[in-house]
Amino acid sequence: MNNYETVFILNPVLSDTQIEETVKKFEDFLKKNGAKMVAKENWGLKKLAYPIQNKKSGFYHLFEFSAPGEVITPYEQEFRRDERIMRFLTVKLDKHAIEWAEKRRTRLKTKA
CATH number of 57's domain: 3.30.70.60
Provide the number of structural domains found in the chain. Answer: 1
pLDDT of residue 112: 63
pLDDT of residue 88: 97
Residue numbers of the chain with a pLDDT score lower than 50 = none
pLDDT of residue 83: 95
pLDDT of residue 105: 85
Q: What is the pTM of this model?
A: 0.89
Separation between Cα atoms, residue 87 and residue 105, nearest integer Å: 23
Q: Which domain holds residue 32?
A: 2-111
Helix axes 72-81, 16-32, angle to 10 degrees: 160
Write the DSSP assignment of 18-54 as a string of letters: HHHHHHHHHHHHHHHTT-EEEEEEEEEEEEEEEEETT
Nearest residue to 88 (alpha-carbon basis) of 6, 29, 31? 6
pLDDT of residue 106: 86
